[in-house]
Amino acid sequence: GHIVHNWKVRWFVLLQDKLLYYKIEGGKKEPSPKGRILLDGCTITCPCLEYENRPLLIKLKTKTNTDYFLECCSREERDSWALDITGAIHAGHPVQVQELHRMKNSFKLLGNISLHHIVERMCDSSTGIKLTRNLEQGNKYKETFTGSALVDWLISKSFAVSRFEAITLASMLMEENFIKPVGARSIEATRYSDLSEQFLDDSTALYMCAESSKKSTSSKEGLQFNISELSGKIVKQGFLVKQGHKRKNWKVRKFVLRADPAFLHYYDPTKEENRPVGGFSLRGCLVSALEDNGVPAGVKGNVQGNLFKIITKNDIHYYIQASSKAERAQWIEAIKPLT
């Protein structure tokens, strides 16, 4: 409400240029609208985290600077309303609407992503994620946050544009020991090998910040790379998702394709040092796209499609996921001439 800041149930109807809301009496909406929100020049904020105890808000600011706070029943409903309202606001720009729908389910992490920067922002006392006392199965946990709260926070701070992207980022934070699961619900999820299933976008799954401990030197860190293989001309580079060889989980890696000599190296974007965590010669390799209908043999977990496979001359299989069919085709076209 605008005068008394209380919360009331209203029936909403979205039209092309306005959002109407009706009072409900006896379980039915009244014939005439109680009010309307003009969408021309309106800006939308979702998720809106201005009310700590109301995580399912959409905020609309009209061009006359009037704020409307709308609370939904679930995150799915909130995100669906937000997407449709955004589409109505930009109805005169069909290309922009099409881009919004594409972004909703796309996978495109920021090129200059830094997990250290995200953690710093998370721990900020004023703008960071709110830590609360939570209860699970009779156990009390101090200074925790829920999985869905972290996803909302990552989107609200523009670290991600979709829930799928935010879940992947949160999974990376957990993989690198910046956050850790708390309680049976979230710990159980870590048993899944698929990156997108280890972190739960759920209001009952609990997590807490963990001090980043220096990991002992692994065999990966001990990999030695010949100077000559890293001196080739860079043909293509970008972020892709790669399936691990041992745990079969999926991790975001920066791939760099070089020619003369022909090598494909991949880097961990969470590490500040600019050295690969893996790589191989492309000489004698086979590269091919994988069908999107079903999970191919050798691939574990819930993948989103757009997969391709590289088989080295030593018969090592690499499974890699692109953000779109077009991106997958570009990588395959760039790799093939170098094999």
In CATH, what number is assigned to the domain containing residue 262?
2.30.29.30
Chain centre distance of CA 315? 33
Do 198 and 278 sit in the same domain of this protein? Answer: no
Q: Are residues 60 and 92 in the same domain?
A: yes
Q: Are residues 325 and 251 in the same domain?
A: yes
CA distance 144 to 130: 8
pTM of the predicted model, to two decimals? Answer: 0.47
Q: Is residue 170 part of a domain?
A: yes
Closest Cα partner for 20 from 33, 39, 9?
33
pLDDT for residue 218? 38
For all residues of the chain together, what is the average pLDDT? 81
100 and 126 assigned to the same domain: no
User: Are residues 328 and 233 both part of a single domain?
Assistant: yes
Whether residue 160 is found in the same domain as residue 238: no
259 is a domain residue = yes
- The answer on pLDDT for 224 being more than 90 is no
**CA–CA distance, 14 with 36 (Å, rounded to integer):** 10
Reported as a single tens digit per residue, the pLDDT across 138-174 is 677 888 999 999 999 998 988 888 788 888 888 888 8
Instruction: Report d(CA 257, CA 259) in Å as an integer.
Output: 7
Higher pLDDT, 80 or 309: 309
User: Is residue 18, in this structure, part of any structural domain at all?
Assistant: yes
Look at residue 2 and tell me if it is in a domain: no
**Residue 45: pLDDT band by 50, 70, 90 thresholds?**
confident
User: What pLDDT, on the 0 to 100 scale, is given for residue 336?
Assistant: 94
Residues 254 and 306 in one domain: yes
pLDDT higher at 277 or 95: 277
Q: What domain range is 296 assigned to?
A: 227-336
- Lowest mean pLDDT of 109-113, 168-172, 299-303, name the range: 109-113
d(CA 252, CA 191): 19
Residue 215 falls inside a structural domain: no
User: Which one of 44, 79, 105 terminates a domain?
Assistant: 105
| Residue 218 belongs to some domain of the structure | no
Sign of CA dihedral 318, 321, 326, 327: negative
- Tokens standing for residue 23: 């009072």
Q: How many domains does the chain have?
A: 3
Position 69 confidence tier, pLDDT thresholds 50, 70, 90: very high
Is the pLDDT confidence value at 106 over 80? no
Residue 321, in any domain of the structure:
yes
Task: Say if residue 69 is in the same domain as residue 162.
Answer: no
CB proximity list for 186: less than 8 A, separation 6 or greater: 147, 199, 200, 205, 206, 207
Is residue 221 assigned to a domain?
A: no
